[in-house]
Structure 1
Amino acid sequence: MLKKLNLRQKFTILLIGILVVGLSLSGLVLSALLRQNATNEIASKALTLIDTMTSVREYTITQITPELSDELDTKFMPQTVAAYSAREVFENLRKRPDYRDFFYKEAAINPTNLRDKADSFETKILERFRKEKNLNQVNGFRSLPGGDIFYIARPLSISQESCLQCHSTPDAAPKTMIDRFGAVSGFGWHLNEIVAAQIVSLPASKVIEKAQQSSLMIVGLVSTIFIAVIFLVNVFLNRQVIIPLKRITRVAEEVSTGHLDVDFDQISNDEIGNLAKAFKRMKLSLEMAMKRIRRSQGGNTGGTAGH
Structure 2
Amino acid sequence: MKSGFACFVGRPNAGKSTLTNALVGSKIAIASAKPQTTRHVVRGIRNTEDSQLILVDTPGLHRPRTLLGERLNDLVYQTWSEVDVIGVCLPASQRIGPGDTFLVSEIAKLDKVPTLVALATKSDLVSKARLAEHLVKIASLEEELGIRWASIIPVSALTGDQVDDVADELVKLLPEGPRYYPDDTVTDEPTETRIAELIREAVLEGVRDELPHSVAVMIDEMGQREGRPADRPLLDIFASMVVERDSQKGIIIGHRGERLKAVGTAARTQIAELVGMPVHLDLHVKVLKDWQRSPKFLDRLGF
Task: State the TM-score bracket (shorter-chain normalisation).
Answer: under 0.3
TM-score normalised by L of structure 2: 0.21
TM-score normalised by L of structure 1: 0.21
Which is greater in Rg?
1
